[in-house]
Amino acid sequence: MAERIQAIRGMNDVLPETTALWRSIEHVFMSVLSSYGYQEIRFPLVESTQLFKRTIGEVTDIVEKEMYTFNDLNGDSITLRPEGTAGCVRACLQHGLLHNQQQKLWYLGPMFRHERPQKGRYRQFNQLGVEAFGMSGPMVELELISICRKFWEQLGFANCVQLQVNTLGELAERQRYKKILVEYLTDHEHQLDEDSKRRLTRNPLRILDSKNPEMQQLVANAPKLIDVLDEKSREHFQTFCEGLDALSVPYVVNPVLVRGLDYYGHTVFEWVTDKLGSQATVCAGGRYDLLVDQLGGNPTPAVGFALGIERIYLLMETLGLLKNETNKNALYIIAVNDEAVVRGLIISEIIRSAYPQIEVSVNTAGGSFKSQFKKADKSGARLALILGEDELATQQISIKDLRNGAEQISVDQNTINQVLKDYLE
Ligand code: ATP
Ligand code: MG
């Protein structure tokens, strides 16, 4: 036997038994977003490497060590998208969507990061991204938070996630803060891990984002960015926080929340859970007013968030919230021979045209009555419709309710849709 080829590590298959669950989660996202007037945008899974380097930042986890970057056959450097914001902005600029306009957009699909695979952390994973362009105040930020809260409510775990918020202020304020932070960290240089030492000169803010528990005390005692902000930035953040209060969204201010990408400024936020171990963040976002300009567009205020669908799935699984809908009206046609199968295919079309919502499976694989009944039962169907020798001879079809002990009955094939009316809920 030939050797089997396995999937690439950290890239998962979703098997038929769970696809309906994935779809039902995605359906919640999509219907909530359209109820808020957000529109879907689709863009490629692959972009020029330069797009991500220029936006995410050279000294970030993603660009330093997580990107799938290749040379294509023309020798051009291309990268599988590690996140969606850069591609979304690129597409909007390329098609003039940001020119004197506001946009409220979303996308859903796979992202790729070469990380160490573990529970809740994969090399191919799915994100839902939501981005709003052309609105500068904290009001649109409040709308994004409301959307998130609506997601959690509809999915049933609103009480298991906590909102953390922070502000990163303006670029000039961050630069001022960087000096103060570097001074503090240099004083404690002997406590820095290797990553942080490297970042000290190249991207000190990232040190606040360190996942290393040994760094956490040092980070907690560091001077706070919020303390060096000017009045205007503080006001922006205060209005945002007051809005959260007005909307009755509980939150905590986390002064070391900086996010792992360089393009953020002002409001940033994460939704975290204590149910998923160290992969605690299910959703993260913030304002990124400098990015559009950085990609060659006119300066355009922008804010967005992305959530990891696998983490949402895991969280819901942990909480016992994933339930396959039972097929309470499904029909299964049992057919004794090829002639009966053809008859069954014809009858199945007649049923589907009257009851388009109902699942009608035809057993096209033959087998004894006994084995076909077993399959019908296993499929979860409510009714078995039987076409045996007798039924073929008399142009009848038999109906057996698989979920109660009711007697099997036979009816004229022409009357099947009418008879089913009494059975189906
Ligand atoms: P983390 O701190 O967990 O590495 P991140 O800051 O790199 O997350 P973002 O780039 O903000 O994550 O992505 C937004 C969301 O996408 C995360 O909150 C998470 O839910 C999800 N996510 C990110 N990386 C992965 C991954 N490798 N596998 C599964 N989900 C992921
Ligand atoms: Mg990461």
Domain check: are 160 and 62 in the same one?
yes
Domain check: are 287 and 358 in the same one?
no
Least confident of 173-177, 303-307, 327-331: 327-331
Number of domains present in the structure of the chain? 2
Domain check: are 307 and 336 in the same one?
no
Q: In the predicted model, what is the mean pLDDT of the chain?
A: 95
CATH code, 253: 3.30.930.10
SS3 state of residue 114 = coil
Domain check: are 375 and 239 in the same one?
no
Domain check: are 251 and 376 in the same one?
no
CATH code, 405: 3.40.50.800
Q: What is the DSSP letter of 395?
A: T
Residues in CB range of 281: below 8 A, 6 or more apart: 270, 271, 272, 308, 311
Residues in CB range of 303: below 8 A, 6 or more apart: 131, 132, 135, 140, 141, 144, 267, 285, 286, 287, 288
pLDDT 10s digits, 54-76: 999 888 889 989 999 999 999 99
Pairing of β 103-112 and β 39-40: parallel
Residue 120, number of CB atoms within 10 A of its CB: 19
Residue 327, number of CB atoms within 10 A of its CB: 15
Domain check: are 162 and 262 in the same one?
yes
CA 176 from chain centre, in angstroms, equals: 36
- Please identify, among 285, 319, 353, the residue that sits at the C-terminal boundary of a domain: 319
**What pLDDT is attached to residue 339?**
97
CB 361 within 8 A of CB 381: yes
Domain check: are 257 and 360 in the same one?
no
* Pocket flag, ligand 1, residue 82 (CB < 6 Å): no
Residues in CB range of 269: below 8 A, 6 or more apart: 145, 163, 164, 165, 166, 251, 257, 284, 285, 286, 305
Residues in CB range of 226: below 8 A, 6 or more apart: 166, 167, 169, 234, 237, 253, 255
**What pLDDT is attached to residue 60?**
84
Residue 392 included in any domain: yes
Domain check: are 50 and 156 in the same one?
yes
Which of 181, 289, 315, 188 shows the shortest CA–CA distance to 236? 289
Residue 160 included in any domain: yes
Residues flagged as binding site: 83-85, 113, 127, 131, 259, 263-264
Nearest ligand to the CA of 83 is: 1
Burial of 76 (0-12, 13-18, 19+ CB in 10 A): exposed
Q: Given pLDDT bands bounded at 50, 70 and 90, which one contains residue 326?
A: low
SS3 state of residue 88 = helix
Residues in the chain: 425
Give, using CA atoms, the residue closest to atom 28 of ligand 1.
121
Single-letter residue type at 20: A
**Sign of the Cα pseudo-torsion (387, 392, 394, 395, in order):** positive
CB 269 within 8 A of CB 62: no
Residue 2 included in any domain: no
Residue 140 included in any domain: yes
SS3 state of residue 204 = coil
Residues flagged as binding site for L-histidine: 83-85, 113, 127, 131, 259, 263-264
* Pocket flag, ligand 1, residue 209 (CB < 6 Å): no
User: How many A from CA of 111 to the centre of ligand 1?
Assistant: 10
Residue 199 included in any domain: no
Domain check: are 287 and 342 in the same one?
no
- Please identify, among 284, 319, 354, the residue that sits at the C-terminal boundary of a domain: 319
| Range(s) of the domain holding residue 344 | 331-424
Residues in CB range of 76: below 8 A, 6 or more apart: 48
Question: Which atom of ligand 1 is least distant from the CA of 61?
Answer: 7
pLDDT at 413 over 90: yes
Least confident of 135-139, 371-375, 401-405: 401-405
CA distance 388 to 170: 77
Which of the two residues, 279 and 209, has the higher pLDDT score? 279
Domain check: are 101 and 151 in the same one?
yes
Question: Which atom of ligand 1 is least distant from the CA of 270?
Answer: 18
**What pLDDT is attached to residue 323?**
87
Residue 215 included in any domain: no
Residue 380 included in any domain: yes
Question: Which atom of ligand 1 is least distant from the CA of 282?
Answer: 20
- Please identify, among 278, 298, 319, the residue that sits at the C-terminal boundary of a domain: 319
Question: Mean pLDDT over residues 197-210, rounded?
Answer: 88
CA distance 357 to 336: 26
Domain check: are 395 and 289 in the same one?
no
* Pocket flag, ligand 1, residue 313 (CB < 6 Å): no
Instruction: List C-alpha distances in Å: 111 to 52, 90, 211, 251, 291.
Output: 13, 16, 21, 28, 20
Domain check: are 38 and 131 in the same one?
yes
Residue 201 included in any domain: no
**What pLDDT is attached to residue 386?**
98
